[in-house]
Homo-oligomer: A and B are copies of this chain.
Amino acid sequence: MAAEFDKCGISCIHEAAVTEAREHMINEEKAQALADTFKTLADPTRVKMLFALLNRELCVCDLAAVIGASESAVSHQLRMLRTQRLVKFRREGKIMFYSLNDNHIITLFEQGIDHIGHS
Measured CB to CB, the residues of A under 8 A from B are: 5, 7-8, 10-14, 17-18, 20-22, 24-26, 28, 30-39, 41-44, 46-48, 51-52, 54-59, 61-62, 64-68, 70-71, 85, 95, 102, 104, 107-109, 111-116, 118-119
Query: Which residue of chain B lies nearest to A58 when distances are taken between CB atoms in the complex?
Result: B17
Secondary structure class of chain A's binding surface, majority of residues = helix
- Whether the Cβ atoms of A59 and B108 lie closer than 8 Å is no
- Total copies of this chain within the assembly: 2
Which residues of B have CB within 8 Å of A33? Answer: 116
Residue of A56, A115, A116 with most chain B CB atoms under a 10 A cut-off: A115
- Whether the Cβ atoms of A5 and B65 lie closer than 8 Å is yes
What are some 18 contacts across the A-B interface (CB < 8 A)?
A: A10-B64, A13-B59, A18-B65, A25-B52, A25-B66, A25-B67, A31-B51, A34-B44, A34-B113, A36-B42, A37-B115, A38-B47, A42-B42, A85-B115, A85-B119, A102-B118, A104-B111, A108-B115
- CB of A25 to closest CB in B, whole Å: 6
- Whether the Cβ atoms of A47 and B34 lie closer than 8 Å is yes
- CB of A98 to closest CB in B, whole Å: 12
